[in-house]
Amino acid sequence: MKLGIVGLPNVGKSTLFNSLTKAGAESANYPFCTIDPNVGVVTVPDKRLDVLGEMYHTKKIVPAAIEFVDIAGLVKGASKGEGLGNQFLANIREVDAIVHVVRCFEDSNIVHVDGNIDPLRDIETINLELIFSDIEILERRISKAAKLCRNDKKAAKELEFLNRVKAHLEESKLAKSFSTDDEEEQEWLDSYNLLTIKPVIFAANVAEDDLADDGADNAGVAKVRAYAAQENCEVFVVCAQIEQEIAELDDDEKKMFLEDLGLEESGLEKLIKASYHILGLISYLTAGEPEVRAWTIKRGTKAPQAAGKIHTDFERGFIRAEIVSYDDLMACGTHAAAKEKGLVRLEGKEYVVQDGDIILFRFNV
Ligand code: GDP
Same domain, 28 and 76: yes
User: For residue range 114-135, what is the model confidence (pLDDT) as tens digits?
Assistant: 778 899 999 999 999 899 999 9
For the stretch 21-41, what's the b/e string if a residue is b when 16 or more beta carbons lie within 10 angstroms of its beta carbon?
A: beeebebeeebebbeebbebe
299 sits in the region (left: phi over 0; alpha: psi -120 to 50; else beta) called beta
Q: Ligand 1 pocket check: which of 27, 71, 243, 245 to mutate, most ligand atoms within 8 Å of Cβ? A: 27
Nearest protein CA to atom 22 of ligand 1, as residue: 241
Q: For residue 338, report the phi and psi dihedrals to the nearest 5 degrees.
A: -65, -35
Domain count, the chain: 3
| C-alpha to C-alpha distances, 253 to 18, 242, 257, 264, 271, nearest whole angstrom | 19, 14, 6, 13, 21
Same domain, 107 and 206: yes
Size of the chain, expressed as the number of residues it contains: 365
In a domain, residue 109? The reply is: yes
Q: What is the pLDDT of residue 74?
A: 66
Find the 359 Cα to ligand 1 centroid distance in Å. 43
105 CA: nearest ligand 1 atom: 24
Q: What is the pLDDT of residue 81?
A: 64
Task: Give the range among 119-123, 250-254, 353-357 with minimum mean pLDDT.
Answer: 250-254
pLDDT-based confidence at residue 39 (cuts at 50, 70, 90)? confident
Q: What is the pLDDT of residue 79?
A: 66
Q: Does residue 204 contact residue 236 with C-beta atoms inside 8 Å?
A: yes
Same domain, 204 and 192: no
User: For residue range 284-312, what is the model confidence (pLDDT) as tens digits?
Assistant: 999 999 999 999 999 999 999 999 999 99
Same domain, 213 and 87: yes
Q: What is the pLDDT of residue 28?
A: 41
Nearest protein CA to atom 27 of ligand 1, as residue: 241
CATH of the domain at 226: 3.40.50.300
The set of protein residues with a Cβ atom below 6 angstroms from ligand 1 is 7, 9-15, 27-29, 33-34, 73, 105, 107, 110, 205, 207, 239-241
Question: What whole-number distance in Å separates Cα of residue 200 and Cα of residue 98?
Answer: 5
- Residues belonging to the binding site for ATP are 10-15
Same domain, 109 and 203: yes
pTM of the model: 0.83
Tell me: pLDDT of 213 over 90.
no
Question: What whole-number distance in Å separates Cα of residue 296 and Cα of residue 55?
Answer: 22
In a domain, residue 216? The reply is: yes
**Mean pLDDT along residues 237-258:** 88
Same domain, 104 and 39: yes
In a domain, residue 50? The reply is: no
DSSP string computed for 110-171 = S--TTSS--HHHHHHHHHHHHHHHHHHHHHHHHHHHHHHTTT-HHHHHHHHHHHHHHHHHHT
- Residues belonging to the binding site are 10-15
Find the 106 Cα to ligand 1 centroid distance in Å. 11
Question: What whole-number distance in Å separates Cα of residue 39 and Cα of residue 54?
Answer: 32
**Mean pLDDT along residues 102-114:** 84
Nearest-10 Cα torsion for 213, 66, 278, 220: 40
**Mean pLDDT along residues 195-213:** 91
ipTM score of complex: 0.95
Same domain, 74 and 164: no
Q: Over the Cα atoms of the chain, what is R_g? A: 23
Average pLDDT, the chain: 88
Please indicate whether residue 112 or residue 254 has the higher confidence score (pLDDT): 254
Task: Give the range among 35-44, 97-106, 317-326 with minimum mean pLDDT.
Answer: 35-44
326, 267, 297, 198: which is closest to 45 by C-alpha? 267
| Domain that includes residue 323, residue range | 300-363
